[in-house]
Amino acid sequence: TTHLVWLRNDLRINDNSALWAACRARHARVIALFIATPQQWHQHNMAPRQAEYIWRSLQQLQQSLTEKGIALHYHQCDDFTASVSYLQDFCHEQQVDALFYNYQYEFNERERDAAVERRLTEQGVTVQGFDDSVLLPPGSVRTGNNEAYKVFTPFSKAYRKRLRAGLPECLSAPQARAETPLTTLLPLSPFDYPRESFDEQLFPVGEAAALQRLRAFCRQPVLDYPAQRDYPALEGTSRLSVCLATGTLSPRQCLHRLLREQPQALEEGQASVWLNELIWRDFYRHLLVAFPKLCKNQPFAAWTKKLAWQQRPEQFDAWCQGKTGYPIVDAAMRQLNATGWMHNRLRMIAASFLIKDLQIDWRLGERYFMSVLIDGDLAANNGGWQWSASTGTDAVPWFRIFNPTTQGERFDAQGEFIRRWLPELAAVPDKVIHHPHDWAKKNHQRLDYPLPIVEHKAAREQTLAIFEAARQAS
Ligand code: FAD
């Protein structure tokens, strides 16, 4: 018997449901396959740093699988459609009896997987899918009226209750298949997609490094998380998002490690705040399944289709480059461009600025983030953008608009973070760092830094009018 594990965004051997199930039959020959689909990735705006992260993780994964006696095959084709045909041929050639894979919840991915299931079943191959990138399967936690939750707080409450009733199991890595491990690695040629290097100190490559980061985080920093997580100058968050997005780490591993180090986390206390973020992650995944329109460029709230977004290509470019004249927004965008990651508080500030100060369609921002983020993930990114745009489920109320200057003053009071990314403000004293041009004018200094591209107060009034008009029109 031959079992095939089709790997996608689950690049690990520990706690991998599909891999574990494929290896359950002791005497089966188990092989693995990864299919790169560069054209599809272009369509999905995958960031070159994420492509590099996947590439590097694949190499490590191949090594770990080989030690277990499992050969990792690799193939590149254009897109998902081509990958379905390739899988059929591959299964035929390798005489595969059963295919094992972990679900992806995005619309195109689900369509592809449905096609694979159909075609392989016709071919006589048994196909088994698993809910693996979430703590609890989408659709399994519903309201009293048997509907999908649209509001986070009751969802989170119900989720915790379910988790307290029984934790999802965390599976170990499979045992080695053969007496002697495989010694040769099949060729992995780099995929035909732009790749860009990233700082490995910031983003752990491979599952051993991810587990180490997780363990260290759950011991102590998780207790400081509630107090520190909103301050971008501090290293107050886990920075595990790329691992979770590509699957070098699973959310179940996070949950189990958290509870091992902090047994109260399911109930209350500091550590429960970080658990809440893992639940936000699942919430957005569950929403994708319940409302597939979220994958199709559509707002959740239908009335927001009537919002009159402005065409402002120059201002959009200024935002992308971190040249809006608002220091906290610019520092945020430069962190993103330079590292492929942005602090969560800053994602909210930068998104709000694009939408509610520049009145630019949130979908442009969503796409730009995706094209640069190393941790780009459709569910979380779309959720974050729709939250900021007030177009989503449980979104920020449309009339509540962040003041980018006040946000900077609150969350980077001394300008420590701003200074890291805006060297052109080096001469500006701490207490006026959020108003650099006022200081420059008063002191007859010239700053090589743009004037604000929009005046917040006036922009706010215009935005309120745009939202009000859309509401009236629907
Ligand atoms: P931690 O604070 O340590 O959180 C732990 C994990 O929980 C994260 O790694 C992540 O997997 C998950 N998580 C945390 N916050 C959220 C959240 N609000 N929504 C969903 N999951 C969350 N996250 C992504 O993983 N990919 C994205 O493409 C993405 N785009 C975003 C866009 C916008 C506009 C906003 C407001 C948020 C976005 N987020 C995204 C959520 C969040 O900003 C990042 O997950 C977080 O900053 C990653 O850093 P961390 O690993 O240190 O997080």
Non-local (6+) Cβ contacts of 370 within 8 A are: 44, 45, 46, 47, 376, 378, 381
Active site residue 277: yes
Non-local (6+) Cβ contacts of 423 within 8 A are: none
Mutate to test the pocket of ligand 1, among 220, 235, 241, 387 (most ligand atoms within 8 A of CB): 241
Q: Is the Cβ–Cβ distance between 289 and 106 less than 8 Å? A: no
Q: Which of 55, 111, 117, 344 is catalytic?
A: 344
Active site residue 341: no
pLDDT at 179: 64
Mutate to test the pocket of ligand 1, among 375, 386, 396, 407 (most ligand atoms within 8 A of CB): 375
Whole-number CA gyration radius for the chain: 24
| Rounded Cα–Cα distance for residues 9 and 192 (Å) | 18
| Rounded Cα–Cα distance for residues 107 and 293 (Å) | 9
ipTM above 0.90 for this complex: yes
Reading the block at residue 434, the tokens are 């959020």
Residue 195's Cα: distance from chain center in Å? Answer: 18
Atom of ligand 1 nearest to the CA of 245: 25
**Greatest C-alpha distance within the chain:** 80
Active site residue 280: yes
- Residue 174's Cβ-count burial label (10 Å; 0-12, 13-18, 19+) is buried
| 380 Cβ closer than 6 Å to some ligand 1 atom | yes
| Rounded Cα–Cα distance for residues 139 and 150 (Å) | 12
Active site residue 319: no
Helix (H) or strand (E) holding 101: strand 98-102
| 284 Cβ closer than 6 Å to some ligand 1 atom | yes
pLDDT at 189: 83
Residue labelled with tokens 């700053």: 447
- Residue 170 zone, left/alpha/beta (φ > 0; ψ -120 to 50; rest): beta
pTM (2 d.p.): 0.98
Residue labelled with tokens 């594990």: 5
| Rounded Cα–Cα distance for residues 81 and 110 (Å) | 12
Instruction: Find residue 5's DSSP bridge partners.
Output: 32, 100
The DSSP code sequence of 312-323 is -HHHHHHHHHT-
pLDDT at 183: 74
3-state secondary structure of 76: strand
CA distances from 243 to 190, 203, 204, 240, 251 (A): 20, 8, 8, 5, 10
Active site residue 274: no
Give the model confidence (pLDDT) of 183-200 as tens digits.
Answer: 777 888 889 999 999 999
**What is the Å distance from ligand 1's center to 244 Cα?**
10
Residue of 6, 3, 62 lying closest to 27 (CA atoms): 3
Helix (H) or strand (E) holding 273: helix 270-290
Non-local (6+) Cβ contacts of 212 within 8 A are: 204
| 281 Cβ closer than 6 Å to some ligand 1 atom | yes
Spell out, as residue ranges, where the chain has pLDDT lower than 70. 179-181
Atom of ligand 1 nearest to the CA of 365: 34
Q: Whose CA is nearest to atom 23 of ligand 1?
A: 380
pLDDT at 268: 85
Atom of ligand 1 nearest to the CA of 378: 28
Active site residue 55: no
Q: Whose CA is nearest to atom 47 of ligand 1?
A: 344
Mutate to test the pocket of ligand 1, among 281, 282, 283, 396 (most ligand atoms within 8 A of CB): 281
Count of alpha carbons within 13 Å of 348, Cβ hemisphere only? 16
Atom of ligand 1 nearest to the CA of 240: 51
Q: Which of 6, 362, 387, 439 is catalytic?
A: 362
pLDDT at 180: 64
pLDDT at 296: 96
